[in-house]
C-alpha cells in the first residue's frame, strides 16, 4: 500500500537508497523550501539541524553551500529507546522527557540558525512535542528559523512518514522511511499555540494534505 502511492508518481526519481530509507525519491513542490533555499544562498556559514535519518545528499548539498550541518533523528530516538518510566493514575505512560531531550538534542552549547524539522512533530509522542519545540527555541540564534511540515490528515497513503531530501529547485524529494504511527494532525490554531512566543509565522498552502510552515525565532 505505501509503496504503491509512490509508484503512481510518473516523475519519480530513482536514487541510491540510504540506510533507513527505501524506494524511489518522489519530487514534491515546496514553497517553504524555496524561501529557505534563497536564504541559504544569501547567508553562508549558517548552522543547521537536519532531522531524520542521515541523508548524505543533504549533508553534501548544505556543506557545499558553506554551512555546518548537525543531525537529529527525533522519531527513531523517541521510539527506539525506553523513555517510559511508568504510568500515571490514569494509566497513561510517564515519559522521561528530560532524558530524551538531553540524549537526542545535546548540542554541547552550540546555537543554530535553521532547523529542518520536516514532519517530525506529527509522529512524536505527545509529551515530547512541546519540550522539543522549547529546546529548539532556547538553542537558536535570533532570527533563526524552523521549517516544519504538518499533515492535515491522519489516515491514507499521504500520511506515511517520509525522509525529505534537498534539491536546488523549488521542490524536495520524498522517500519512504521507517514507519511510526502518526499521532495527530495540527490545525493552524494548534500550530500557533505550539510556537507561541516566536516572532514570525509564515504558512504555505499545499495540495497534498500537508501544511508547510516557517517559524522565526
CATH number where 84 lies:
3.40.50.150
Q: pLDDT at position 128, please?
A: 97
Using DSSP's 3-state secondary structure scheme, residue 158 falls into helix
Q: pLDDT at position 158, please?
A: 73
pTM of the model: 0.88
Q: How far apart are the first and last CA of the chain?
A: 39
| pLDDT over 70 at 18, yes or no | no
Q: pLDDT at position 196, please?
A: 94
Average pLDDT, stretch 174-182? 92
* Spatial separation of the C-alpha atoms in residues 114 and 143, rounded to whole Å: 9
Using DSSP's 3-state secondary structure scheme, residue 214 falls into strand
pLDDT digits (tens, 9 = 90+) for 192-206: 999 999 999 999 977
Joined together, the cell numbers standing for residue 164 give 525529505
Joined together, the cell numbers standing for residue 63 give 556543506
Q: What is the mean pLDDT of the chain?
A: 88
* Spatial separation of the C-alpha atoms in residues 58 and 147, rounded to whole Å: 15
Q: How many domains does the chain have?
A: 1
pLDDT band, very low/low/confident/very high, at 22 (cuts 50, 70, 90):
confident
Give the domain extent around 7: 2-216
Q: pLDDT at position 81, please?
A: 77
Place of cell 536546488: 168
Amino acid at each position: 500500500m505505501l509503496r504503491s502511492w509512490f509508484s503512481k508518481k510518473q516523475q519519480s526519481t530513482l536514487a541510491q537508497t540510504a540506510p533507513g530509507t527505501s524506494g524511489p525519491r518522489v519530487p514534491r513542490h515546496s514553497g517553504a523550501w524555496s524561501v529557505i533555499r534563497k536564504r541559504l544562498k544569501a547567508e553562508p556559514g549558517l548552522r543547521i539541524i537536519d532531522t531524520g535519518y542521515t541523508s548524505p545528499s543533504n549533508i553534501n548539498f548544505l556543506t557545499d553551500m558553506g554551512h555546518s550541518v548537525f543531525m537529529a533523528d527525533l522519531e527513531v530516538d523517541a521510539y527506539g529507546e525506553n523513555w517510559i518510566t511508568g504510568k500515571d493514575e490514569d494509566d497513561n505512560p510517564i515519559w522521561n522527557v528530560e532524558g530524551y531531550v538531553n540524549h537526542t538534542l545535546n548540542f554541547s552549547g552550540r546555537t543554530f540558525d535553521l532547523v529542518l524539522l520536516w514532519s517530525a512533530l506529527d509522529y512524536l509522542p505527545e509529551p515530547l512535542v512541546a519540550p522539543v519545540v522549547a529546546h529548539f527555541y532556547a538553542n537558536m540564534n535570533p532570527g533563526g528559523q524552523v521549517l516544519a511540515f504538518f499533515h492535515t490528515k491522519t489516515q491514507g497513503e499521504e500520511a506515511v512518514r517520509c525522509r525529505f531530501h534537498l534539491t536546488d529547485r523549488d521542490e524536495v524529494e520524498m522517500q519512504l522511511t521507517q514507519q511510526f504511527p502518526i499521532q495527530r494532525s495540527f490545525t493552524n490554531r494548534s500550530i500557533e499555540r505550539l510556537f507561541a512566543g516566536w516572532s514570525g509565522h509564515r504558512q504555505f498552502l499545499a495540495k497534498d494534505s500537508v501544511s508547510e510552515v516557517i517559524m522565526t525565532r
